[in-house]
Amino acid sequence: MGAGKTFNGEYTSNHTRARPSQQTLPLLLQRRRKANPDLRITILVGVGNHRPMMKEEMVDKFGVEICARERIVQHDSQDAAALVKIGALSSGNELWINREAVETECLIAEGLIEPHSFAGFSGGPKSVLPGIAGYRSIHANHCAEFIHSGEARTGNLDGNPIHQEMVKAAQLANLSFIFNVVLATDGTVLRAFCGYPLDQNIYQSVKGMSTAESCCKPGGVIIMVAACQYGHGGDSFYSHLASAATPAELHRRTCRRGRHETLPDQWEFQILSRILANHPVILATALEDPRVVTAMHIRPARTIDEALERAFRMKGQQAQVVVIPDGVSTLVDSPPAESVEERKR
């Protein structure tokens, strides 16, 4: 696939996973082509370090129609020409992934959630690492040091170094959307889960808040809807906000730091403190501990309706509402609202 071609990618798991792709993959393909019937889509099979799927296995997994109609590419973790280095993980391990995934305009993954002996659970970020990663990146992630960790155990994600690297890999790969399922004992779909990696914690959700900031009146309320299943997103990010007397105070202090005095996560708490200094922020999420949200000078809500009701109480029932479905991918054609400090000058 040459650079510059219009391309959308669907990642899917391989024959070693029991995912019912004949049921779920057509749903993804149909949704992607709803707005553009001529959209070119490539199905990239995340083989990881496993062998390629045989033709019979592909037909059994995807169905005759998809195999005949769609372009299907099987990942080869040892094909250097098919791999691209996209960065380094927190451990220093280099991340190499399939070139098709790097060149796509929109990378979507499907997978199966089930307990995993050292990653905690399958599905989620495993679609990138190990799914479409180079074998050296996979081996580094599965190293003896990480496997020996007491946190690398079945059903555990908290502090799991293997899972943490997988999450970072998904972020570096710009994974846009995930469609995961949980199966019942008879193989039928019990639950389906869809999500965007950029709402996995408060740190990542700041990217969406910054878009809202650029089109919100001074003092206007920002409602952020985010799953935040992985908490606040970083100890430095959380501690600086939680220990600040006010967001405005933290923002002023951070802006005075020298170029060579940059702290971990400083960029993110600098942006969030700027937003909070000018706008009340309500975080609508069912999964984050409300005490953590409150400590960061954010107002928690369990549902969107609760957040809206609270915002209308603050700004009046006649207040206007702007809805931004995808804050991370939206550009607003207007300058940011002036800050509190600028209005005081």
**Would you name the residues annotated as active-site residues?**
50, 116
User: CA–CA separation, 23 vs 209, rounded Å?
Assistant: 35
Q: How far is CA 19 from the centre of its chain?
A: 21
The dihedral sign for the CA sequence 245, 251, 252, 258: positive
Classify 111 as helix, strand or coil: strand
Angle at 191 between CA 185 and CA 197, to 5 degrees: 130
Strand (E) positions, 160-279? 175-183, 189-195, 222-225
Provide the 10 A C-beta neighbour count for residue 152.
Answer: 21
Give the 3-state DSSP-derived string for 52-93, with helices as H, strands as E and coil as C. Answer: CCCHHHHHHHHCHHHHHHCEEEECCCCCHHHEEEEEECCCCC
Classify 100 as helix, strand or coil: helix
Q: Per the omega criterion (within 30 degrees of 0), is the bond before 37 cis? A: no
Q: How far is CA 120 from the centre of its chain?
A: 18
Give residues with Cβ within 8 angstroms of 199, minimum separation 6: 205, 208, 225, 226, 227, 228
Angle at 63 between CA 59 and CA 69, to 5 degrees: 95
Q: Are the C-beta atoms of residues 10 and 33 closer than 8 Å to each other?
A: no
